[in-house]
Amino acid sequence: MVTGITSTELIETAENSDTRVNVDIDNTQPAIIVCDLKKVFQKRSGLLRSHVTEEWALKGISFQVGLRETYGILGPNGSGKSTLIRVLSTLLTPDGGEVKILGYELPRDERQIRQLIGRVSVDAAFYKKLSARENLLYAARLYGIDPRVAEKRAVEILDRLRLAKRRFNDSLEEMSRGMQQKVAIARAILINPPLLLLDEPTTGLDPKSRRDVQTYLEEVRAEQGTTIVLTTHDMAEAERLCHRIGFITHGKLVAEGTADELKNIAGTDNLEEAFIKVTGEYFEKEEGE
């Protein structure tokens, strides 16, 4: 989970009206509007790597996410869901289509969009030698948040995520995967962004840590009115957290609706069976499942 850090990865935090970034938001339209989004990667092979082939990760995806909605993106590994989150996070530039986030357009308004989002990935990045406290305060500093305010909020968030206060000054490399992911989520929520982009935030966590994270995400949306986009291949998580769900496979969004609507479309009472029937794809199980 813990990898090398980049400046872009560090700018992904949020929470509390005292710390919310001061960027105007258009509340008259959906939080996210995606129309015919495309993303292609070029691969080089052969002698001197002179042969170039194109691999389309996103093939004309269109969807909308309402303000204060939690929207789930369900798909197996390699389906394009992580690429989609990275485009929405401004970490990848789209190769076609239109994207609007809280009234701002990609890629034109990347700077404003970065101030409005908190992002958590399955491979959260930190300064591993630093403590949870130091990582969070550094992220807060990037947003100009008073250190005293940031520390108070960080302690509150980690407490609600059920991370023991005695671990606050431990280095990240001494923490379990579940603890590290809780710190990543705290960092994303510390500045109270209006939009959270979560790429498999509970993958690999133990059952208790997973429940702690899910409960807190529900509380954040209810208390702060946060819009959440969540990628996962955990069916129970999708049904618990998401108002609507999109099925993605081979870079295409092939169906969307509430969990009940998707199950009705497939004629089943099981969301995973609905995904398999609609897409023809199966999910890889996590280790230990």
Q: Quick check: helix, strand or coil at residue 118?
A: strand
Q: Do residues 220 and 209 touch, judged by C-beta distance below 8 A?
A: no
In a domain, 16, yes or no: yes
Beta-bridged to residue 99, according to DSSP, are 34, 106
Residue 45: its pLDDT value, please?
77
Residue 16: its pLDDT value, please?
35
Complete edge-to-edge strand list for the sheet that includes strand 70-74: 117-120, 195-199, 227-232, 70-74, 244-249, 252-257
Rounded Cα gap, residues 102 and 116, in angstroms: 8
In a domain, 284, yes or no: no
**Sign of the CA dihedral with 103 first, then 105, 106, and 111 last:** negative
Tell me phi and psi for residue 166, to 5 degrees: -65, -15
Q: What is the pLDDT of residues 13-40, one digit of tens each?
A: 333 334 445 667 778 899 999 999 999 9
In a domain, 288, yes or no: no
Please provide the DSSP assignment of 166-235 as one string. Answer: GGTTSBGGGS-HHHHHHHHHHHHHTT--SEEEEESTTTT--HHHHHHHHHHHHHHHHHH--EEEEEES-H
Residue 105: its pLDDT value, please?
96
Residue 247: its pLDDT value, please?
97
Rounded Cα gap, residues 289 and 280, in angstroms: 22
In a domain, 130, yes or no: yes
Domain carrying residue 232: 7-279
Q: What is the pLDDT of residues 54-71, one digit of tens each?
A: 999 999 999 999 999 999
Name the amino acid, one letter, at 94.
P
Rounded Cα gap, residues 59 and 54, in angstroms: 12
Tell me the CATH number at 44.
Answer: 3.40.50.300
* Dihedral angle over CA of 164, 167, 172, 175, nearest 10: -60
Number of domains in the chain: 1
Q: Do residues 84 and 253 touch, judged by C-beta distance below 8 A?
A: no
- List, as own/partner pairs, every contact residues 181-184 make where C-beta atoms lie below 8 angstroms and the sequence separation is at least 24, other chains included: 181/1, 181/120, 181/124, 181/205, 181/209, 181/213, 182/158, 182/209, 182/212, 182/213, 183/124, 183/126, 183/132, 183/135, 183/136, 183/158, 184/120, 184/121, 184/124, 184/126
> Which residues in the chain land under pLDDT 50?
1-20, 287-289
In a domain, 2, yes or no: no
Written as six digits, the tokens of 29 are: 């339209």
In a domain, 227, yes or no: yes
**Maximum alpha-carbon separation in the chain:** 57
Rounded Cα gap, residues 171 and 191, in angstroms: 22
Residue 283: its pLDDT value, please?
73
In a domain, 1, yes or no: no
In a domain, 254, yes or no: yes
Consecutive H or E run containing 73? strand 70-74
Written as six digits, the tokens of 262 are: 């998707």
